[in-house]
Structure 1
Amino acid sequence: MKIRHTAVAVLAASALALSACATGEDFEEQPNDTANSAENGSDSGSTEASAASDGETITLEDNHGTKEVPANPETVVATDNRAFEVLSEWGIELAAAPQPLVPFTVEDYKTSEDIVDIGNHREPDLEALTAVQPDLIVNGQRFTQYYDEISELNPDATIIEFEPRDGEPLDEELRRHTEALGKAFGHEEEAQQLIEDFDAAIERAREAYNGEDTVMAVNVSGGTIGYIAPGLGRTFGPIFDLLELNPALEVENASDDHQGDDISVEAIAQSNPDWVLVLDRDAGTNSRNEEGFVGAQTVIGESEALQNTTAISEDQVYYAPEDTYTNESIITYTEILNGIAEQMEQAQ
């Protein structure tokens, strides 16, 4: 295993302009200018590897069945956005990764010239992934669609995938994901600590919420507000179930699309949420560096139509960490839950 040390309302339908956005994962990061060739990455992987796999394996049950994971993988590739921060925190070196998708906060993976950049999920260079000759691939999230192709191109590699399964509670799936990574990389104690921190954050947020205040979740992209449906929507949807939040607005046929559903500021104002939870999608991509970028705090906080809502007037708006859209790891959810709890505690 390669290791390095890192620092570690309910409203009438007429009141809501709501429609599902187009499906598909929107992502606007561009490949890094310093991306390496697969050839260079492969050479680096062979010279910097620590102990070679000794033939011992660890048995894991992932989304596709029983997998025998090499106990000491020489060459690791990760495509799973939920895994980047966790693996980085444990000091795991990667031979290849989709660097445009790596959260900007995970700097050692985002900018490393020793990592072969396989591009984003729209047009990935899977041949470059194969060229580094991985023996372990941590696949997931935006790359789940390429599982079969990656498997065919890398018959000698073990591929593990713990993307949250449909119909399963997200908190349980995040624990499963973290436990598996801990076993795969020999960081079981650290994995358990992440889970304990996550569980503590859940309990803290549950205690901080008074059980009565109404809550709405939205995302912002390109200056446009999208409605995040309780239980369904991106990032914040499961938190409604997890904390038993009282929705300020519920509509039929809401989608789970990553862009959310169209909603007017007038509909938000009419529902008058006590709290608003906000995901800034653009802040997690290169869009944040573009001229004319307008962040979610400006879009929400300076909207005239929302100034008289309880959430705005009482400063009860929670903004998720800027990197959340590309970093929905257990660490990020712990941070979100603690952030919500802190604001609600202050409001008591």
Structure 2
Amino acid sequence: MKKIHRALLSVVAAASLALTACSTAEEGDQGSNKGASESALQIEDNNGTHELDQPFERIAVTDNRAFEILADWDLNIVAAPLGIVPDTLSDKINEDTIEANLGMHREPDLEALVAAEPDIVINGQRFTQHQADIEALMEDTPVLDFSPRDDKDMAEELVRQTEALGKVFDHEDEAKKLVDDFNKALDRAKDAYDPEKTVMAVNTTGGDINYIAPGKGRFFGPFFDLLGMKPSLEVENSSDDHEGDDISVEAIADSNPDYVLIMDRDGAVAKDEAGYTPGKKLVEDSAALKNVSAVKDGNIIAAPQDTYTNENIITFTETLNAMADAFEKN
């Protein structure tokens, strides 16, 4: 009987230990799952709210305003449309550094995107039109678009995009530095600008000088609102096309701006082609513009050469500082 009693006690003790172990394991699993859920990042982009499991090791990026930021953070970019990546980033994003070249936004190679197996896609700007197709192909892979929205304040949108990228890729300190630099440059240009001075923005392409309407377009148009600048000329029914409006150089000259802002489109996409002339030189050498105040006084401000394909917060910051330099000297 004693032997039976001892055996029974042993069985009960073993069962008790097993139940305790199972209970502890379950609690541990629940705690682990709870921790994973709590650590998941919830973030809102242009298309809604997403819950993300970080970190991301394989990144596809199609948004021109994100290329430089992500490259500067030394992230592993596995797929990108090299046809629209700025030449200034060719040392960081090229055929040797990525696994899939997505081509151009007009006819993108989305099969290559799938084959690259990214764990996140940063979409936007020229590729916004392909958002639905990319989402359908990538299935459970998050496809995020933080590119500035047309109906919003450009400064706020650039900050929103930069801060969001910082959160997604755990580079919030670096994102904060970019935002701080931008805000300082914006304040500096605002403080230096004389509201009595008039400003003209132009786009140069194919040897032509085209008018950029205040408040319209992707780059210089919004600067008028950001800085409260006084346009030297306003044209009815002006477009927000990236090539600007084709009005006569004489009309630009007659408006006699104190400052001319230049976005050299060809400088970003055709600088190696025969016959290319930098936008600033086109304006400076124009016979029709030789008596314009901005030309005579040397108040011609050209955005960075790669601006047309690199319109991110860094480019805006560089341009604002260049404008502040010009405003401060007068």
> TM over 0.5, yes or no?
yes
Q: 1:218 — aligned with what?
A: 202
Q: For the residues of structure 1 that align with 2:66 and 2:132, how far apart are their CA atoms?
A: 20
Q: 2:112 — aligned with what?
A: 128
Aligned counterpart for 1:108 among listed residues 82, 91, 100? 91
Task: Compare CA radii of gyration and give the structure with the larger one.
Answer: 2
Q: 2:213 — aligned with what?
A: 229
Aligned counterpart for 1:141 among listed residues 125, 129, 150? 125
Alignment of 1:317 onto 2:300: yes
Deviations 1:31-70 (A, max 9, x none): xxxxxxxxxxxxxxxxxxxxxx999531110011111223
Q: 1:326 — aligned with what?
A: 309
Q: 2:69 — aligned with what?
A: 86
Q: 1:186 — aligned with what?
A: 170
TM-score, reference length from structure 1: 0.82
What pairs with 1:240-255 in structure 2 (closer than 5 Å)? 240-255=224-239
Q: 1:59 — aligned with what?
A: 42
Deviations 1:272-303 (A, max 9, x none): 01110000001011x10112212212211100
1:186 aligned counterpart, secondary structure: coil
What pairs with 1:279-298 in structure 2 (closer than 5 Å)? 279-285=263-269, 287-298=270-281
TM-score, reference length from structure 2: 0.87
2:88 aligned counterpart, secondary structure: coil
Q: For the residues of structure 2 that align with 1:205 and 1:339, how far apart are their CA atoms?
A: 9
Please identify runs of 4+ aligned residues in structure 1 that moved more than 4 A: 53-56
Q: For the residues of structure 2 that align with 1:263 and 1:210, how far apart are their CA atoms?
A: 27
- Note the C-alpha offset of 1:234: 3.4
Q: 2:258 — aligned with what?
A: 274
Instruction: Tell me, yes or no, if the aligned pair for 2:262 and 2:302 is still in contact at 8 Å.
Output: yes
In structure 2, the CA distance between the partners of 1:189 and 1:153, relative to structure 1 (3 Å rule), is same
Gaps of 5+ in 1: 1-52
Q: For the residues of structure 1 that align with 2:112 and 2:40, how far apart are their CA atoms?
A: 26
Q: 2:284 — aligned with what?
A: 301
Alignment of 1:157 onto 2:141: yes
Q: 1:4 — aligned with what?
A: none
Deviations 1:283-329 (A, max 9, x none): 011x1011221221221110001000000000011000000000000
Amino acid in structure 2 at the alignment position of 1:108: D
- Alignment RMSD, CA only? 1.5
Count, aligned residues: 294
Q: 1:342 — aligned with what?
A: 325
1:174 aligned counterpart, secondary structure: helix
- Note the C-alpha offset of 1:233: 2.8
Instruction: Tell me, yes or no, if the aligned pair for 1:99 and 1:109 is still in contact at 8 Å.
Output: no
Amino acid in structure 1 at the alignment position of 2:168: A
Instruction: Tell me, yes or no, if the aligned pair for 2:204 and 2:262 is still in contact at 8 Å.
Output: yes
Q: 1:45 — aligned with what?
A: none
Q: 1:117 — aligned with what?
A: 101
- Note the C-alpha offset of 1:109: 3.6
Instruction: Tell me, yes or no, if the aligned pair for 1:274 and 1:310 is still in contact at 8 Å.
Output: yes
